Amino acid sequence: MALPAKLSSSIVTALLPTSSRKAVPPTAQEPPAPTAPQPPAAPAHTVHQYRAIWVSDVHLGTAGCQAHFLLDFLKHNESDTLYLVGDIIDGWQLRKGWYWPQAHNDVVQKIMRKARKGTRVIYVPGNHDEAARQFNGLAFGDIEVHEDFVHVTATGRRLWVTHGDLFDSVMQHARWLAYVGDSLYTAILALNRYFNQIRIRCGFSYWSLSQFLKHQVKNAVSYINSFERAMIEEARHRGCEGVICGHIHKAEIREIDGQLYCNDGDWVESLSALVETLEGELKIVYWTELRAPPVAMSRRARRSQRASQPIDHETPQDVRPTEPV
């Protein structure tokens, strides 16, 4: 059967030596279509490196916890040692009613991931998570539990690390009053949350109404001053040159009678942490603006995203965070 002329010509051309072939003029081609300009790549967020970071009074499990701000802080700040100085999880409120949104789970996952990647995580329980004190000296995975701790700065200064509730006269002598005060404080924090939602929608930054009201009360100011002096005296008694604590939700660094008093603040009002730079300087960092705001997702979208992700043997699928942490 005869082959088509076009196919026969192609076969003959392929069998001829290269030198015997005639150059075939290139066929005219349409110029490539212009590509749409690509948006510039988003700059990688700046990550600050510290020698140590102290975080306390997060109160996970309560509506007043500013978990999105803390998660954003943990993403943008790394340290050799991370101290969790009590009241990380609010057992008092969780006993009254379960409240655990995804953002709170993301914070726990982020801390655990830091520990797995080499950050030394030291957990010093407080009064709201006092159940963890029975595990003093033990480690849960890569997280150490200590009733208190002594931190030595890069300049050789010994600082006693404790939550501070054991030196709170109300906690020790009128515990029922502490529970009543906690309920009233929770109500003020709820008001503070709605107040700041309105501020943010109007373009203003975070500002703590509850902290402002608390510091206007003369008795509260007197209570804070007596608490600070009690902490300093105990630190001196233990042979340390200062103290790092939380508990009263008031970030501060100051010298008292030759001793250094440091309070790392909280993550329900002041949104602050204490850090030690690589040179040994201690300072307070306020994180009242999100560097990487969370992307809002519907419940159906979150469920679909979890179903499409492969199962991680280290992280059960039912507690996987909805965004990279």
CATH code of 54's domain: 3.60.21.10
Number of domains in the chain: 1
- Give residue 187's pLDDT: 65
- Give residue 141's pLDDT: 85
Strand runs (DSSP E) across 221-267, as ranges? 242-245, 252-256, 259-263
- Give residue 324's pLDDT: 47
Tell me if 103 is assigned to some domain. Answer: yes
Tell me if 86 is assigned to some domain. Answer: yes
Tell me if 207 is assigned to some domain. Answer: yes
The alpha carbons of the chain give a radius of gyration, in whole angstroms, of: 30
- Give residue 292's pLDDT: 77
- Give residue 158's pLDDT: 97
- Give residue 29's pLDDT: 54
Tell me if 21 is assigned to some domain. Answer: no
Q: Enumerate residue ranges in the chain where pLDDT < 50.
A: 1, 3, 7-8, 10-12, 14-24, 26-28, 36, 39-43, 169-178, 180, 218, 311-325
Tell me if 40 is assigned to some domain. Answer: no
Name the phi and psi angles at 229, rounded to 5: -70, -35
Are β-strands 259-263 and 252-256 bridged in parallel, bridged antiparallel, or unpaired? antiparallel
CB-based contact 320:312 (threshold 8 Å): yes
- Give residue 41's pLDDT: 47
- Give residue 201's pLDDT: 77
Tell me if 37 is assigned to some domain. Answer: no
Tell me if 26 is assigned to some domain. Answer: no
Tell me if 302 is assigned to some domain. Answer: no
Name the residue range of residue 173's domain. Answer: 48-293
- Give residue 184's pLDDT: 59
Give the whole-angstrom CA distance, residue 275 versus residue 77. 10
Give Cα separations from 224 to 169, 249, 268, 273, 288 (angstroms). Answer: 11, 10, 18, 18, 23
CB-based contact 151:82 (threshold 8 Å): no
